[in-house]
Amino acid sequence: MLDETQAVTAVRPERPAIEISIVVPVFNEEESVELLIDRIGEAMQGFDKAWELILVDDGSTDGTLARARGLIDRPGLEMAVIELQRNFGQTAAMQAGIDAASGRLIATLDGDLQNDPRDIRAMAKALEDRQLDLLVGWRKNRKDGLFLRKIPSWCANALIGRITGVRLHDYGCSLKVYRASIIKQVKLMGEMHRFIPAWVAGVVPSSRIGEMVVTHHPRMLGTSKYGISRTFRVILDLLSVLFFMRYKARPGHFFGSIGLAAGAVSALILTYLFIDKFAFGTDIGTRPLFLVGVMLFLSSIQLITTGILAEMMARTYFRDDDTPNYVIRQTFRQSL
């Protein structure tokens, strides 16, 4: 005779392993969130493996969360809705979704209906066929404004590719498919979701990062949450990416190299002034060149000292306690 625990185990089927987790950060998308979920469900209809949808509400101030929660128990849809405590930004929301995902593969896309969920299955297949760890969507026929969106994006893509060494046509496309075991090794901060291929390149060879042309739709509902001001944040984040890609484990080389260069120039200036003073009797006390030499000498000491301190901080960085860059208020899942 089965006891109560055995009886429950015998009746309840084992939950199949999730093949694909679809992560969608949303912020004030009340008008489109229901249509978004419908389209994702339609796109994944007939998929022969288990999949899940993880919707991350990034502190929306409209009815986005309520509408999403109302659809959790929809038949044939395994969905979780994560409510962040406040608006942390798209990168943090994406990180929250990735952390919560249980699929072998993870797909991310925007919640504004401009990315087409029907591309996910084709991208997942291409990822496997091409033996990649990350497949990035390429909005080749992008449906956005030319001057405020397309031209800045083209310039940014060329600059990012040149600096990071990962050559892609479209860094800004949120539609991407990853192997979960790889992307979970990458911690996203700031506005770093735009540089995910560069961060992944720090974990795997760039040859395992590819791209694929995807469909892009014009925005029909809601308004864009991004303006031209994000360009400045992207530039600052790009400098951070460059530093971390090349000097994360040896920051002393970065600051030390600049310090030694400043010290060498200072030595040349001061040597010249020393000879000019004691060989030719020239008064150097009021010469601007003397002040420049002294300032370069002091800067050299400061930079080298900063490099030593940065090396010490790097040791702490590699022992990071993995504190997340977001706070979840609560998570809603289907009732079993």
**Residue 329's domain is classified under what CATH number?**
3.90.550.10
Q: Are residues 149 and 222 in the same domain?
A: yes
- 54, part of any domain: yes
| Inside any domain, residue 145 | yes
> Same structural domain for residues 175 and 273?
no
pLDDT 10s digits, 59-115: 999 999 999 999 898 888 899 999 999 999 888 999 999 999 999 999 999 988 889
Beta-carbon contacts of 315 under 8 Å, excluding residues fewer than 6 positions away, are none
pLDDT at 165 over 80: no
Residue 293 and residue 191 share a domain: no
* Angle (CA) 303 306 312, round 5°: 150
User: Are both 256 and 133 inside the same structural domain?
Assistant: no
Residue 13 pLDDT grade (very low, low, confident, very high; cuts 50, 70, 90): low
User: Who wins on pLDDT, 117 or 158?
Assistant: 117
How do residues 14-46 score in pLDDT, each as one tens digit? Answer: 668 999 999 999 999 998 899 999 999 999 998
| CA 326 distance to own-chain centroid | 14
Q: What is the pLDDT of residue 24?
A: 96
Tell me how far apart the alpha carbons of residues 292 and 201 are, in angstroms, rounded to a whole number: 41
In a domain, 69, yes or no: yes
- pLDDT tier at 11 (50, 70, 90 boundaries)? very low
The dihedral formed by the CA atoms of 24, 68, 224 and 176, expressed in degrees to the nearest 10: 10
Query: Which of 6-10, 177-181, 189-193, 212-216 has the least mean pLDDT?
Result: 6-10
pLDDT of residue 127: 97
Q: What pLDDT does residue 2 have?
A: 41
- Please say if the pLDDT value at position 162 is more than 60: yes
In-domain check, residue 235: yes
Measured between alpha carbons, how far is 73 from 50 in angstroms, rounded to an integer? 16
Q: Dihedrals φ, ψ of 94, to 5°?
A: -65, -40
HEC string of the chain equals: CCCHHHHHHHHCCCCCCEEEEEEEEECCCCCCHHHHHHHHHHHCCCCCCEEEEEEEECCCCCCHHHHHHCCCCCCCCCEEEEEECCCCCHHHHHHHHHHHCCCCEEEECCCCCCECCCHHHHHHHHHHHCCCCEEEEECCCCCCCHHHHHHHHHHHHHHHHHHHCCCCCCCCCCCEEEEHHHHCCCCCCCCHHHHHHHHHCCCCCHHHEEEEECCECCCCCCCCCCCCCHHHHHHHHHHHHHHHHHHCCCHHHHHHHHHHHHHHHHHHHHHHHHHHHHHHCCCCCCCHHHHHHHHHHHHHHHHHHHHHHHHHHHHHHCCCCCCCCCCEEEEEECCC
Q: Are 53 and 78 in contact (CB under 8 A)?
A: yes
Whether 273 and 167 share a structural domain: no
Could you give the number of structural domains in the chain?
2
**Six-digit token string for 319:** 């022992």
- Domain check: are 76 and 198 in the same one? yes
User: Residue 279 sits in which domain range?
Assistant: 251-317
Quote the CA–CA distance of 132 and 161 in Å, as a whole number.
19
Q: Which residues contact 323 (CB under 8 A, 6 or more apart)?
A: none
Confidence category of residue 9, pLDDT binned at 50, 70, 90: very low
Task: Judge whether 42 lies within some domain.
Answer: yes
Q: Do 219 and 283 fall into the same domain?
A: no
Say whether pLDDT at 158 is over 80. Answer: no
Tens of pLDDT, residues 188-227: 876 677 788 888 888 888 889 999 999 988 877 655 555 4
Neighbour count for residue 60 (Cβ, 10 Å) = 20
Give the tens place of pLDDT for each residue, 286-295: 889 999 999 9
Same-domain check for residues 127 and 97: yes
Angle at 201 between CA 196 and CA 203, to 5 degrees: 105
Within a domain: 2:
no
Whether 152 and 79 map to the same domain: the answer is: yes
Q: Are residues 58 and 136 in the same domain?
A: yes
Same domain, 184 and 264: no
Domain identity same for 85 and 202: yes
Q: Distance from CA of residue 108 to its chain's centroid?
A: 11
Q: Model-level pTM?
A: 0.74
Query: What pLDDT sits at residue 160?
Result: 75
Residue 7 lies in a domain: no
Residue 314 confidence class, pLDDT cut points 50, 70, 90: confident
Q: How many residues does the chain have?
A: 336
Enter the tokens of residue 192. Answer: 């770093």
4 domain-assigned: no
